Amino acid sequence: MSTPHPSPITDHADRTVLALETSCDETAAAVLRGGALLASEVASQIATHAPFGGVVPEVASREHLRALEPVIARALAAAGVTLDDIDAFAATCGPGLASSLMIGTSAAKGLAIAHGKPWLAINHLEGHLLSPFFGTHEGVRPAVALIVSGGHTLLVEIEAFGRYRLLGQTQDDAAGEAFDKVGKLLGLPYPGGPNVNRLAESGDPARVDFPRSMLHSDDFAFSFSGLKTAVRYLLPKLGDISLPDVCASFQEAVVDVLVAKTLRAAATTGRELIAVSGGVSCNTRLREKLRATCWARELELLIAEPTLCTDNAAMIGYVATLKLAAGETSSLTDDIDPNLRLVAS
């Protein structure tokens, strides 16, 4: 017997949303009311996956099962609400690890059915894309957006909420993936990206002339696998080159490409606002160089708050709130899609 889909919400001003995020190795829940964040809770799995040097999907899904109920309970308590107060339930449906995505979406659907409320399937990439606008007075505005994380590196033109145009993306490793792999090559603790950034602060970014792949290509595509290989070839002949110098030089090569292509995309599209999100946008050198170049070219820069850069449910709830305001909900038959795209090709 099929379960009828709850009727869409028509009055959104003070609607309360519970959002879940389990796309990879962070178990997260957030509560929003009328677009305002009431609570955001995240249970990290970094310590669990550190011995393996990366995320193990089977381990991640088991950790989500263990952590999700307590995380939801903490979010509800922090927001001062109960499940009966929730007007809609949302969860990340992709992209991500299939076994992880299933945990959050199954929970959100189950709660929606049990409470007779709508549910919304949210694209993880759209969450990142719009996170710089969360909490701003103007909301989503036309912009060139850079999403740069462990699994994704892409440039997108935002025309308005729900209207996006893919400008370019990585052809191989994402920038965050390259950071983590180089960190592993250098023997740094997992995850490598933040540790590379930390060591780079005391290094010379001009010490090693690493390649800037596709820097001068006529498109907005990225490639970081060659840079990672260049670091590997350098290791046996380091000599007097210090670890901080290697980290700083590698980081500078990544940042140079990200900044140059983003600024070129803004010039090509005529957009005067640049929005940046994703875990790698926490990188201090990337933020520093983006601010300097945007200021020099009189461009506006919006970078997501650090708590919204890594995987979190607040950004998922933000997109869900915007969808509700547009009269959109999802069907209970909507399934996860580990390879979900932000923009249909």
Q: What is the mean pLDDT of the chain?
A: 93
Q: 186-229, pLDDT tens digit by residue?
A: 999 999 999 999 999 999 999 999 999 999 998 999 999 999 99
C-alpha span between 277 and 32 (Å, rounded): 20
Helix (H), strand (E) at residue 98: helix 98-115
C-alpha span between 314 and 21 (Å, rounded): 9
Tokens, residue 30: 């957030």
For tokens 């601010």, the residue is 291
| C-alpha angle 190-243-227 in degrees, rounded to nearest 5 | 75
299-320 average pLDDT score: 96
- pLDDT of 8 reads 38
Contacts 24+ apart (CB under 8 A), 4-11: 5/118, 5/329, 5/331, 5/332, 6/112, 6/116, 6/117, 6/118, 6/119, 6/329, 7/118, 8/118, 8/324, 8/327, 8/328, 8/329, 9/87, 9/88, 9/118, 9/324, 9/329, 10/327
Q: 16-70, pLDDT tens digit by residue?
A: 999 999 999 999 999 999 989 999 999 999 899 989 888 998 998 999 999 999 9
Q: Does 165 score more than 50 pLDDT?
A: yes
Please give the C-alpha separations between residue 298 and each of 55, 102, 211, 303, 310, in angstroms, as whole numbers.
Answer: 40, 44, 29, 16, 28
Based on the number of CB atoms within 10 Å of its own CB, is 2 exposed (0-12), middle (13-18) or buried (19 or more)?
exposed
291-309 average pLDDT score: 96
CATH 3.30.420.40 boundaries in the chain: 16-130+309-325, 141-303
Residue 345 pLDDT level (bands cut at 50, 70, 90): low
- Record the pTM: 0.93
Residue 344 pLDDT level (bands cut at 50, 70, 90): confident
- pLDDT of 11 reads 46
Q: Does 5 score more than 90 pLDDT?
A: no
Helix (H), strand (E) at residue 108: helix 98-115
Say if residues 329 and 106 touch (Cβ distance below 8 Å).
no
Q: 135-149, pLDDT tens digit by residue?
A: 999 999 999 999 999
CATH number for the domain whose boundaries are 141-303: 3.30.420.40
CATH number for the domain whose boundaries are 16-130+309-325: 3.30.420.40
Cβ count near 337 (within 10 Å): 15
